[in-house]
Amino acid sequence: MADNRIAKEKITETLDKNFMPYAMSVIVSRAIPSIDGLKPSHRKLLYTMYKMGLINGSRTKSANVVGQTMKLNPHGDQAIYETMVRMTKGNEALLMPFVDSKGNFGKVYSREMRYAASRYTEVKLLPICKEMFRDIDKNTVPFEDNYDGSVKEPILLPSAYPNILINASQGIAVGMASNLASFNLREVCEGTIEYIKDKNVDLLQYIKAPDFSTGGQLLYSEEDIRNIYETGRGIIKVRGKYQVEKKKRHIEITEIPYTTSAEAIIDSIIDMVKTGKAKEITDVRDETDLKGLKITLDIRKSTDISKLMNKLYAKTPLQDSFGCNFNLLINYQPMVLGLREIIAKWVDFRISCITSRLRFDLQKNKEKLHLLLGLDRILLDIDDAIKIIRNTDKEIDVIPNLMGAFRIDEVQAEFVAEIKLRHLNREYILKRLDEMTGLQAKIEDINKTLLDKRRIKRIIIIQLEEIAKKYGTDRKTKILDKEQITDFTQNSDIEDYNLKVFFTKENYFKKIPLTALRTDPEQKIKNSDQFVQNIESNNKAEVIFFSNQSNAYKMKMYQIPDCKAGDFGEYLPNLLEMQEGETIVKIVVTDNFTGHMIFCFDNGKCAKIPLKSYETKQNRKLLAKAYYPGATLKYIDFINSTKNYELVGITDKQRALIFNTSDIKEKASRASQGITLIKMKKDEKIKELLLLKNAKLKDRDKYRINNIPATARQLTDRDSKRKQVSIFDL
């Protein structure tokens, strides 16, 4: 019997009531950094250390800081300590660390080098934290109650420099993640200054590329970096740095990518040695010490070091990728922003901080000036003031009597009444009057600044210039031009041998080594199939597959498995992941991209495209618009020499024209429709376009015309009865 006490609830309501609050809490209060570059856990820890006086004082035990932080962060002590470890100078996780450390805090580049317990280590704040907390006591940022309402804590830190771009930050929330790369402090400050001066500045001229605390070498591509700067998303490739000790015959790896560890690299190298893929290496050791990271590789005497390192870059984490996802919180809203947008948001944030500080200073100066104006009135007749105080019977009446006698308010009267007798001299009076003049000038200057945003921006620029000069350092991650780096897969570790490829009408592709063909020359294909092309080549060549939908698919020959003569081979729609209904009509095998492609269409136009146009620097598999998509392809061929030949076009109106491939002019663009060779009448289309020798025409001379383009001529009775030839009968 059903239990009627069970309440029914829609799944959407359950998610909204139970899951969404949790998801928002993780996003807003845990995993995603804010415009100051900090997550709540980092901010609470730094603020605790600031209130403990650790920005100027000596170090204290880490356990003491962890305990104090629990007043703001109700998580366990181990979680708080792990947060601190990553922010220390000793751990080397941050490009500009916040915490000066003493003791073992492990290393970000080692998964096995563990940090010591909090009772053994000591910490204090590094000087750069003064810039993070600049004017925090002047209402620059809003505060909120901690979890139990016992103390106040800042929602953000003032951050006088764009820390959001300086230190790398990773976070996984619910349904989203964040992965911010770190940039060089000096470059970011210069770039931000130039942005404040001109919002359309090319930031790439100042902020060259990300800079990581573990150094290494960044494979630079301007196109990729610009895309990251504009969209906030993209991938950066970083490789390790090494030096060679020729006398000792070993290689020392001293810097590695930020995203990996020394142990991961060593494990990968050992696996390569065991499987015979790195026979040049005789030993690998982790020699990391107090001086820093060092992985040593002993090598054989005849080793080609450049070739070996290219192999290690390709097959181990010695070269790794950093996936950029610039997702941060702006007013509690997660946003993926480009570099310019992040800087813009930070500038707006700093303008609000400085505006709040100016208003605070303005209020304080006004209050002080108000007190001095009251003192000024009394100083005109100081003897009367003293007489009033002496002749007043009760202390409670002193303030009202002064107020009545000198027409000042209660605050001013309190200030006068508290002045010590020793200060009632000429020197003190003159100093107070001079101070009043100075305060009036300050108030006027602050009011002008508050009304002029340009003056506020000038303050930001001055602060950034000071910070860059005081704390700026050279780049740790060196920039390598990606175009100058040899791709390992193009030169190394690929077995090269002669082979023959076969392409069939039903889109099967067979790659067979010549040695295998000698022992088994008979080829097997389906009964309904037929061979269209067979080409001799080598295993390092590239194959271009042209389809009937204006696409070209590229593959390295070594990426395609060998097969036996008795196999059907690779089915190209599966191998190339082609579209439904798409078929391959031509394959071209090349290792130097010389020659031309010929494309002829049903509208009477033909294009001659250099094969060089299909060479790409990146290993792209699909080239869209590999030829003109606006007309139906009737003929395709590859010419690898200057030798030309004759073609014939036959229209659906039973007319024909013979022309030579030399008549087709070269076009640089792959998608060019070429030039008109056969003038078409209204509603006329090319039905066949093929090699003249395959056309089986009897009266060829009739269709030859000296001046091209020209109108096709009517087929003779003998030629009109010929059998049509398909695009595969080339």
CB atoms within 10 A of CB 70: 14
Burial 545-569 (b: 16+ CB within 10 A, else e): bbbbebbbbbbebbebeebebeebb
Name the residues annotated as catalytic: 120
DSSP character at residue 214? T
CB atoms within 10 A of CB 514: 12
Cα gap 442→437, rounded to integer Å: 9
Burial 387-405 (b: 16+ CB within 10 A, else e): ebeeeeeeeeebbebbbeb
- Give the ranges where 508-648 is alpha helix by DSSP (H): 514-519, 572-575
Chain position carrying tokens 């109650």: 145
Residue 501's nearest CA partner among 490, 512, 491 is 512
Write the burial class of residue 666 (CB in 10 Å: 0-12 exposed, 13-18 middle, 19+ buried): exposed
Strands 99-102 and 498-504: unpaired
Q: How far from 699 is each of 43, 651, 708, 730, CA to CA, in Å?
A: 89, 16, 19, 20
Residue 111 tokens read as 């998964």
Roughly how many angstroms between the first and final C-alpha of the chain, as a whole number? 78
Contacts of 585 (CB under 8 A, 6+ apart): 546, 547, 548, 633, 636, 727, 728
> Under a CB-based contact definition with an 8 Å cutoff, are residues 235 and 322 in contact?
yes
Cα gap 509→496, rounded to integer Å: 19
In which region does residue 188 sit, left (phi positive, over 0), alpha (psi from -120 to 50) or beta (all else)?
A: alpha
